[in-house]
Amino acid sequence: MRAIRSALGRASLLPALAMLAVVVALNAWLQPHFFGRPSLESNIATFAPTILVCVAQAVVVLNRQLDLSVGAGVSLINCALAALPADLPGGGWSACVIGLALALALGAVNGALVAFLELPSLIATFATGAVWFGLALALMPQPGGAIAPGLGDLYGADWIGLPVPLLIVAAAMAVWVALGRHRIGRWIVAVGSSPGAAYQAGVPVRWATFGAYLTAWVLVFLSALTISAQTLSGDARLGQTYTLTSVAAVVIGGVSLGGGRGSPWGALLGALVLGIIANVIYFAGIPSIWQEFFKGLVIMAALGFMVSGQRRRVAA
Amino acid sequence: MRGIVRRFGGVTALDGVDLEAAAGSVLGLLGANGSGKSTLSRIIAGELAPDAGTIELDGAPVTHATPHEAAARGIVIAHQHPALAPDLPVWENLFLGAERTVFGGFIDRGRARREAKAALTRLGAAIDIDAPAGALTAAEQQLVEIARALTRRPRLLILDEPTASLAAAEVGRLFDSVRALTQAGVAVIFISHRLAEVEAICDRVLVLRNGRVAGAWRSAGRLDAARIVALMTGDPDAAPPARAKRVVGETVFVASDLAAGRAVRGIDLTLRTGEIVGLAGLQGQGQEELLEVLAGFRRVDCGSIQHRGKRITPRLPRDMIRRGICLVPNDRHRQGLFLDQSVGDNLASVAIAIQPRPWHLPLAALRRLAEAMIERLRIRTAGPDQVVTRLSGGNQQKVVVGKWLGRRPDVLLLSDPTKGVDVHARGEIYATLGAIAAEGSTVLVFASDIEELLQHCDRILVMVEGRISDELSGEAMNEQRVIAASFGRAA
């Protein structure tokens, strides 16, 4: 028990958990049958893309970098999947392979710019994000196309009694858990904690940063896949809101923007908090034109709660 | 290594240095701050590349571009400033870059933690291996840095001022480890400003000055301190500067029953104008925290402070600075300097922060101030526009002191101001402290080196577990008494 508590404390998950409890309680109060299986299943299906992109951002932020192109990346992969010919041999599976290859290529470009050309990640990924968006628009000027229907069916299905979206998220977290126990994962965090110390200790700093981007973009691919399986068409503006949502979720989840501190579990919690906040605002019957306004206020409050929690820890 | 040259910008840090380290022996490397010791050791360890010269290992020329490659050849360095990842636990830091792994690179936690515990125990360090490295004290971080170097199975081990923040017992255990290594045939390069340590551990001595070899001995034995200072400074008549005449005047500062957090547990303290008071004791007895409380960095839990007859509550450093109570903090890189700014900007930073009219920036006056400080503290710099990190450690520390001297401080607090500062620059810093005390300021200084306090202070307060265990002055102020008092309650 003590070990769990200290692990929670070190990963600074407690404030995010408390916040999650509050928004879940609100949601359950406003929405009858929130804990019913249909509601939970539809929520996890809706949240999965956001969760995955937030966890992707967390991996990069732990390395003391940012990726402002993840949203545009989701759009581009979505458009690419939608632009694939309907009679593609292999159907859904080859679409997955193509999508993953594209995601890894995009991640490799970002990683190379930041790790090897030493461009500031904030600017470099802002620029590549514009490029991804431009490519997505060229590929799909109007929303349209079609995603292999098999993907949509699979996404709505159950496997060993559990909904597939939940399994995808679980698999993504399992990959991170494995990476966190692997030296590459430790290098990613060590470089984020102190690049100089990591370098002097003999850590291949550039490769660690490159690896962080590649890992993140595997998750971005999963995010694009899950959102595509829901919309079943291509839209170049689909992922627009994901980028800054992911940064906010990372902060709410207690991952330090200064790198090294926090865990992708925090990002998962942060994504859930943000998703449920959207639910709460919807069910509270707030007129749609005011929804964004209230969402902003709630996020501000959540960030304030997190930051004041962090200050207390520093002072203690 | 032969004919090593390294330039930074226009400054030549190393100018044709030859150095030979033999298996099974300890080479002492001495030199003033800025003489090139650290640069030389970083070149050997692959952190910097030489501009000219060759490095041979076992008779064959080698080039290594990264610390990783150097470590693969058995060349390992323990840095003067511990290079630890602050968020990672101690045990991970120990094996960072050389992880203990099982199949395919997964971390072998059990083995790593066992070995980490063993390595720290050998150095006699009782450190929680699960604590994040950033939460350790400076001395503990230094021990982790040394333990890490020892776990890398070095063939050539470089210890860059390993003892700067260690207590005597820890130094003893470190020396035991070094002797065990040399018996196993490891070559060691030992960098230190403490001559007694060099005498105790080194077989040979090399003195650097301005990037060149100024002198070398076969065997260390007893060292002639005057001759070494002369070699280091290039000035045969380098004598310790004369002590300025000081008059101890009225009481300016009184703290009674002051407590803050776990570190400061009830301090009674009276300071008078014109005196230099030393704070001594083992590492981590609350000295640094006391100074931080007095400077308004930490909150006071109970007790009272009077400054010039007025009761005050330190809340913000800014308030205390306005009262003329200023702190030269322990960690000059993190708290003392704006690292990427120029010498001039750093020297002017206090004047800018507390000037009465914030909308007015008297650039010319600030520049004159900076130039005057460079002159007064004899800061070795290309000029006020040079970036402060280009200066050597001792000169950086002079900048930290200098920024407070624009307006004469009423009470100047210093936390280990000579850590990693050579004998020569140390003398200059204390000469400056003497001068401002002679002008009527009060100086309260904590230093880990007892000798230097004895030499420069009017009286010494010894701290044990957050309290002042003894006050020594006059005849009673000697090393034995200070050490005895340091163990007063801890023993």
- Which chain B residues touch A184 with a CB distance below 8 Å? 105
Contacts of A187 in chain B (CB under 8 A): 97
pLDDT in tens, B213-222: 877 777 656 6
Q: Residue B33: helix, strand or coil by DSSP? A: coil
Contact B79 A200 (CB under 8 A): yes
Amino acid at B202: C
Which residues of chain A lie closer than 8 angstroms to B98, CB-CB?
201-202
Kindly determine whether residue B86 and residue A193, on different chains, have CB atoms separated by under 8 Å.
Answer: yes
Q: Which ipTM was obtained for this model?
A: 0.79
* CA distances for A85 relative to A133, A235, B14, B186, angstroms: 21, 16, 65, 67
pLDDT value for B12: 64
* Alpha helices by DSSP H, B304-414: 317-322, 343-354, 363-376, 393-402
What region, left, alpha or beta, does residue A204 occupy, with left being phi > 0 and alpha being psi -120 to 50 degrees? beta
Six token digits for residue A186: 């430790």
pLDDT at B210: 77
Q: Which helix (H) or strand (E) holds B68?
A: helix B67-72
| Predicted local distance difference test score (pLDDT) of residue B49 | 81
Closest Cβ–Cβ partner in A184, A194, A202 for B85: A194
Distances (CA, A) of B98 to A194, A264, B7, B339, B415: 17, 25, 31, 30, 35
Is the residue at A148 inside a domain? yes
- The answer to whether the beta carbons of residues A115 and A213 sit under 8 Å apart is yes
**b/e map B386-418, b = 16+ CB within 10 Å:** bbbebbbbbbbbbbbbbbbbbeebbbbbbbbbb
Phi, psi of B432 (to 5 degrees): -65, -40
What CATH number does residue A202 fall under?
A: 1.10.3470
**Tokens 């030992």, residue located:** B190
Per-residue pLDDT for chain A (316 aa), expressed as one digit of tens each? Answer: 455 555 555 556 777 888 888 888 888 888 888 888 888 888 888 899 999 999 999 999 999 999 999 999 999 999 999 988 877 777 778 889 999 999 999 999 999 999 999 999 999 999 999 999 999 999 999 888 888 877 887 887 777 878 888 999 999 999 888 888 898 999 999 999 998 889 888 888 999 999 999 999 999 999 999 999 888 888 999 988 899 889 989 988 888 888 888 888 889 999 998 888 888 888 888 887 887 888 788 778 877 877 666 655 444 3
Assessment of whether the complete model's pTM goes beyond 0.90: no
Q: Specify the pLDDT at position A254.
A: 83
pLDDT, residue A313, reads 47
Q: Which residue of A lies nearest to B48 if distances are taken between CA atoms?
A: A200
| Contacts A10 to B, Cβ<8 Å | 132
Helices (H), chain A: 2-10, 14-30, 37-62, 70-83, 92-111, 121-139, 149-156, 164-180, 183-193, 195-200, 205-231, 242-252, 264-283, 288-315
Is A316 a member of any domain?
no
CA distance A3 to B129: 14
**Cα–Cα distance, A254 to A267 (Å, whole number):** 8
Indicate whether A138 belongs to any domain: yes
Min Cα separation A316/chain B (Å): 9
**pLDDT tens digits for B283-309?**
778 898 999 999 888 888 888 898 998
Cα(B162)–Cα(B148) distance, rounded to whole angstroms? 12
CB atoms A260 and B88 under 8 Å: yes
Interface membership of B96 toward A (CB under 8 Å): yes
Inform me whether the pLDDT recorded for B490 exceeds 50: no
In the predicted model, is pLDDT for residue B9 greater than 60?
no
Q: Is A250 on the interface with B (CB under 8 A)?
A: no
Given the DSSP bridges, would you call strands B26-31 and B75-78 parallel, antiparallel or unpaired? unpaired
| B85–A contact, CB cutoff 8 A | yes
Residue A312 lies in a domain: no
Residue A53 inside a domain? The answer is yes
Contact A202 B66 (CB under 8 A): yes
Contacts of A196 in chain B (CB under 8 A): 83
Chain A residues whose CB is inside 8 A of the B99 CB are 183, 186
Phi, psi of A47 (to 5 degrees): -80, -25
Mean pLDDT of chain B: 83
Give chain A's radius of gyration (CA, Å).
19
Cβ of A190 within 8 Å of Cβ of B96? The answer is yes
Q: Which of A182, A199, A256 has the CB atom closest to B106's CB atom? A: A182
**Residues 1-20 (A) with a CB less than 8 A from some CB of B:** 6, 10
> How far apart (Å, rounded) are the C-alpha atoms in residues B133 and B262?
20
Q: What are B318-330's pLDDT values in tens digits?
A: 888 888 999 998 8
Is A235 within the bounds of a domain? yes
Does the beta carbon of A109 lie under 8 angstroms from any beta carbon of chain B?
Answer: no
**Mean pLDDT, residues B50-58:** 81
Question: What tokens were used for A158?
Answer: 């159950």
Question: Cβ separation of B86 and A198 shorter than 8 Å?
Answer: no
B361 to chain A, minimum CA–CA distance in Å? 31
Nearest-angstrom CA–CA distance, A63 and A257: 9
What pLDDT is stored for residue A112 in this prediction? Answer: 96
Which helix (H) or strand (E) segment holds residue B153: the answer is: none
The pLDDT tens digits of the residues spanning B352-402 come to: 877 777 777 888 888 898 999 899 888 888 888 888 888 888 889 999 999
Q: Is B329 helix (H, G, I), strand (E, B) or coil?
A: coil
Whether A100 and A218 have beta carbons less than 8 Å apart is answered as yes
| Residue of chain A whose alpha carbon sits nearest to that of B82 | A197
Q: Is residue A1 part of a domain?
A: no
Q: Which domain holds residue A19?
A: 14-25+36-307
B3 falls in which pLDDT band (50, 70, 90)? low
Write out chain A residues lying below 8 Å of B66, CB-based.
199, 202
Give the model's pLDDT for residue A72.
95
Which of B116, B69, B79 lies closest to B94 in space, CA to CA?
Answer: B116
The tally of domains found in chain A comes to: 1
Contact B304, B255 (CB under 8 A): yes
The DSSP bridge pattern shows strands B11-17 and B2-8 to be antiparallel
Q: What count of CB pairs under 8 Å joins A to B? A: 82
Chain B contact for A184, CB < 8 A? Answer: yes
Residue A8 counted as domain residue: no
